A and B are shown apart, each in its own frame.
Chain A
Amino acid sequence: MDLFNQLIVFFGEFLLVVGVVGDLIGALGMLRFPNFFVRLHAATIGAIGGAFYPLLGVTLIAVGADFLGAYRWFIAGSSLITAFLIAILSPTGTHALARATYRSKVSKPYPKVVDHLEEDSHA
């Protein structure tokens, strides 16, 4: 049982490292990318790689770390529910924001190859 806990905690720490790397890459992309529609990519990395994976890692660590007492199931359950919420809410909110930005012409999507939405709206 001790080895099993150690293994779960090691896997959770690996997910935390993946989360830190995704977080830094998302922040650098958010800072360096040219306009809003390119920054959507960095926001996806920051939300899924930087928040979803660390929350799964916190869940695994809280399950395996028996020094936290009986309340570790509380941490594990709420982290799992938050990870599930972020996996649903982040694409939905980003899609709504991108659609509103495109339709209100706040920002122009300029590095583009084809724009079927614009062709359909002119037809």
Chain B
Amino acid sequence: MLDLEHQVVTFIMFLFPFYVLAFLLYVVRVLRGPTISDIVLALDALLYDVAAFTAILALFFKSPILAPISMIIALWAYATDIYVAKYLEGREMGD
């Protein structure tokens, strides 16, 4: 039977290029987005996926200190949403 550690590490190495490709596609939308809502929406999805990728890296490098960082990244993505939503609505109410 195959060694479990070798199998998990090989599997995660096989997943890396697909994640990087998805990140690059999100970054294209972040750079090209016509309005600020598109930029923030793409950044939001990108940061949630970076959070998941950080948890996978914690498995890959066998370093448990990387795992709680994903929690912080997810909370930052939510904070970006709320800040920009308040900014857009505030401008609408101010005029």
Contact = CB atoms under 8 A, between A and B. Distances in A.
Contacts of B67: 74-75, 78-79
A17 B19 CA distance: 11
Given A23-B19, A93-B81, A107-B37, A78 B25 contact: no
A92 interface: yes
Contacts of B15: 16-17, 20
A103 to B, nearest CB: 5
A42 B46 CA distance: 12
Interface of A: 5-6, 9, 13, 16-17, 19-20, 23-24, 26-28, 30-31, 36, 39-40, 42-43, 46-47, 50-51, 54-55, 58, 61-62, 64-68, 71-72, 74-75, 78-79, 81-82, 85-86, 89-90, 92-94, 96-97, 99-101, 103-107
A123 B9 CA distance: 61
Interface in B8-50: 8, 11-12, 15, 18-19, 21-23, 25-26, 28-29, 35-38, 40-42, 44-45, 48-49
Interface of B: 1, 4-5, 7-8, 11-12, 15, 18-19, 21-23, 25-26, 28-29, 35-38, 40-42, 44-45, 48-49, 51-52, 55-56, 58-59, 62, 64, 67-68, 70-71, 74-75, 77-78, 81-82, 84-89, 91-92
B81 A94 contact: yes
B55 A82 contact: yes
Given A20-B15, A93-B78, A94-B81, 20 more contacts: A9-B8, A13-B11, A39-B38, A40-B41, A42-B45, A46-B26, A54-B52, A55-B51, A75-B55, A78-B67, A78-B70, A89-B74, A90-B48, A93-B44, A94-B44, A97-B81, A100-B88, A101-B35, A101-B37, A106-B35
